[in-house]
Chain A
Amino acid sequence: MTPEVLTLSETPWLFTAAMLIKVIVAFVVTLLIVAYATYAERKIIGRMQTRLGPTMTGPMGLLQPIADGLKLFFKEDIIPSQAHWFAFIIAPIMILAPAFLSIVVIPFGADFQFTYDGTLYAVPLQITDLNIGVLFILAMAGLGVYGIVLAGLASNSKYSLLGGIRSTAQMISYELAAGLSIVAIFMLSETLSMRGIVAAQQGPLWGLESLSFLPNWFIFSQPLAFLLFIVGSMAEINRTPFDLPEAETELVSGFCTEYSAMKYALFFMAEYANMITVSAIAATLFFGGWAGPFYGWINFLLKVFAFMFFFIWIRATFPRLRYDQLMFLGWKVMLPAALVNIVITGIAILLW
């Protein structure tokens, strides 16, 4: 018996219920990961730097993110008198919302099947399977820039302005490189749907039985694209070594210099949410999504965590690039490399 897919027209109640549950679960899990990503970052970097990280709040400091959140929540919310209040308030929301929205199209497991009223239904473990999923993610990443620019402009502070300008230039140039690098993936998978891309990565590598010990993940066919994507997205989410917009030692705190209390917390939630999104995209596009030895979503979460660990590790290791060097890397190294990769992939597809 083939399972029936829930649709709004045929099973409105079930569909709505399943959708709500998926949205709530995805949102809550993401929020939790965001909260504990801060904890993990402090613990991991702490260990790498011969420190302990948080230990006092709760067992092993596990309640630290909650304490931090509460503290920031109860802080006085200051809006500088010369700031543009509306833009100042809307900016952190405009950063956070796209970061969470990107999660919508990411598939985190295979179909979930259940029987109701004698019929077998299947629920895809993905909030919605847009047929332009990757495009949607790129669009959301592009929207994130506006928040930072607004924050920089609305604060009416020169440090914020410099941070805002830096991040605009940086995000635009790296989005281009990161976006172009995944074009090669569409060319291989012939679909823009995230689910379709995962499906294209099933089976042995390149369909060859002799390589069956390796999965057909795109990391093996597109190593250059993977490299470009990871570096580009690191730059896009403003992580070290590309954290120029908020370069603490140069611009005090960059675009969030004037922010305080919960609005400040929103910026940080956005940063970690973006980190999760990027990790999830990387896992989906290059590492076969939920495929792996364990049960569906466990594989997926493990991959996401591995990427996040990688980002944190990078932060503990590298110094920061300079603005002109960053632009040089983006436009003169990564963009041509991405274009060359597309051409090579095209030729390879034509030949085989």
Chain B
Amino acid sequence: MAVNNTETMTINMGPQHPSTHGVLQLILELDGEIVVKATPHIGFLHRGIEKLSEHRTYHQTIPLTDRLDYLAPMSNNLGYVLAVEKLLGMTDEIPERVQRIRVIMAELTRLKSHLVWLACHALDIGAMTVFLYCFRERENITDIYEKVSGARMTSNYFRVGGLSADLPDGLEQEIRTFAESMPAHIEEYEGLLTGNRIWQKRTIGVGKISAEAAIDIGITGPALRASGVDWDLRRDNPYSGYEDYDFEVPVREGCDTFDRYKVRLDEMRQASRIILQALDKLKPGPILADCPKIVLPNKQDVVNNIESLIHHFKIVTEGFKPEPGEIYQSVEAPKGELGFYLISDGSSHPFRMKIRPPSFVNLQGLPQMVEGRLLADVIAVIGTLDIVLGEIDR
């Protein structure tokens, strides 16, 4: 007869659970309230985007990328179009205005994604008010999204070689007003959380991961910078003219949930700085590269000009055909390094598109961050990793 009657309780957290941020399933083995083992199960939102893209033209794949990290659609668009442009070898031909607008939109997207992160993270820990404050600001960004692209979430705004449309009149001023108001709002969130003793108790020292362990597990983005690794793709491997802007990369040494929180808040401040600088540098100009075989001509030319008509017909019916080759392009998405590995076989479809989703890799760190800690910390750590299941499952 067994003398020791202790046994662990297996609890199934998700895929329907209020704070697994989507359809993440965690099998937790609990000893009382202490997590002995955590096993993430993913794939509930798998839509086969990589497989689908092999059957679509390069342009038709852009809307699919919106659905990866649906909280930051423009970052995904940016990563993909940059990858295709690199594959085509036309990176240097992108007009300046396009690059500026791309940066503005990417940084707005960073704000948008971080706002949702902060909202949900705070709500998970029980601070309900911050949630609604964050969504108030996020609403402004979705309005801006709607004005530039017609959609509030799945923007599909960037095109290979440019943008789908120029900024509408008056929007520059609206973005400027918003970016200027953002630091004050961030102070507001900090006022509710940073100094709060309960918030500090819930976050400081929770979910620690050292820099070595973080690099080994492949964690990127704010989570890595909070572990003391000074690495940001925008500064270190600049793309879209990020080298023109003056911004700081916030780095902290605490390796815990609180520092990840602080790093992301600082990133939001820097993002609004970059937006303002980009708006200052924004000059009128073309919004599409001068590559008639790749970029759709404008409608006026299609009607009046036989060459444009032919190009239009060719691009629409079969798409452009990059030469065979393979490239890897990554951008600093709000959640970490978002990479696109594209292989072309000379046809108008990607031969293989592999997406490196930051959340997928970051989620791998979850078991070692929560094992041996309390159930409530699991929630805090899921929040601090800032995962989006659309991106993890693809």
Contact of A241 among B129, B132, B198 (CB under 8 A): B198
Closest to A51 in B: B132
Given contacts A249-B19, A323-B33, A323-B376, contact A243 B132 (CB under 8 A): no
Chain B residues whose CB sits within 8 angstroms of the CB of A323 once the complex forms: 33, 374-376
Measured between beta carbons, the chain A residues less than 8 angstroms from B123 are 249
Closest to B192 in A: A317
User: Are B126 and A320 in contact, CB atoms less than 8 angstroms apart?
Assistant: yes
The 8 A CB mask of A268-284 against B (1 = contact, 0 = none) is: 00000000000000000
Which of A45, A51, A244, A319 is within 8 Å of B125, CB to CB? A319
Query: Which B residues are CB-close (under 8 A) to A318?
Result: 126-127, 196, 198
CB distance from A30 to the nearest CB of B (A): 27
The complex places the Cα of A244 from the Cα of B132 at a distance, in Å, of 22
24 chain-A/chain-B pairs, Cβ below 8 angstroms? A49-B132, A162-B30, A162-B375, A243-B126, A244-B376, A247-B376, A249-B126, A249-B379, A250-B378, A252-B17, A315-B128, A316-B128, A318-B126, A319-B125, A319-B126, A319-B196, A319-B198, A319-B199, A319-B202, A320-B202, A320-B376, A321-B202, A323-B375, A325-B201
List the 9 closest A-B pairs by CB distance, nearest first.
A320-B126, A249-B19, A49-B132, A319-B127, A319-B126, A319-B125, A322-B376, A249-B124, A158-B11
Q: Which of A236-258 contact B (CB under 8 A)?
A: 240-241, 243-244, 247-250, 252
* CA A248 to CA B131, docked complex, whole Å: 15
A311-332, CB under 8 A of B: which get 1 and which 0? 0000111111111110000000
Q: Which residue of B lies closest to A251 (CB)?
A: B375
- The verdict on A250 contacting B132 (CB below 8 Å), with A158-B9, A243-B126, A322-B374 known, is no
Residues of A contacting B126 with CB < 8 Å? 240-241, 243, 247, 249, 318-320
Number of interface residues of A (CB under 8 A): 29
> Which residues 108-148 of B sit at the A interface, judged by CB distance below 8 A?
122-129, 131-133, 136
CA distance A212 to B129 in the complex (A): 42
A48, CB-defined interface residue at 8 Å: yes
B122 and A162 within 8 A (CB) = no
| B285 interface hit (Cβ, 8 Å) | no
Shortest C-beta distance, A251 to chain B (Å), equals 8
Indicate whether B386 reaches chain A with its CB closer than 8 angstroms. no
Query: Chain B residues with Cβ under 8 A from A51's Cβ?
Result: 132
* A11, chain B: closest CB distance, angstroms: 53
* Number of B residues with CB within 8 Å of any CB on chain A: 33
- Bound CA–CA A252/B11 (angstroms): 12
Docked complex Cα distance between A247 and B33 (Å): 14
Q: Which residues of B contact A241 (CB under 8 A)?
A: 126, 198
Cα–Cα, bound, A252→B16 (Å) = 9
Q: Of the candidates B129, B132, B376, which one forms a contact with A317 in the assembled complex, judged by CB atoms under 8 Å apart?
A: B129
Per-residue interface assignment for chain A, residues 293 to 304, with 1 indicating a CB less than 8 Å from any chain B CB and 0 otherwise: 000000000000
**Does A50 sit within 8 A of B, measured CB to CB?**
yes
Which residues of B185-205 are within 8 A (CB) of A? 192-193, 196, 198-199, 201-202
Q: State A189–B17 Cα separation when bound (angstroms).
A: 50
> Are B198's CB and A250's CB within 8 A?
no
Pair A49/B33 contact, Cβ less than 8 Å: no
Known contacts A158-B9, A319-B126, A319-B127, then 15 further A-B pairs from the complex at CB < 8 Å, ordered by chain A residue: A49-B128, A49-B131, A49-B133, A51-B132, A162-B30, A162-B375, A247-B376, A249-B124, A317-B127, A318-B127, A318-B198, A320-B376, A322-B202, A324-B33, A324-B374
Q: Is A159 part of the binding interface, using a Cβ–Cβ cutoff of 8 Å?
A: yes
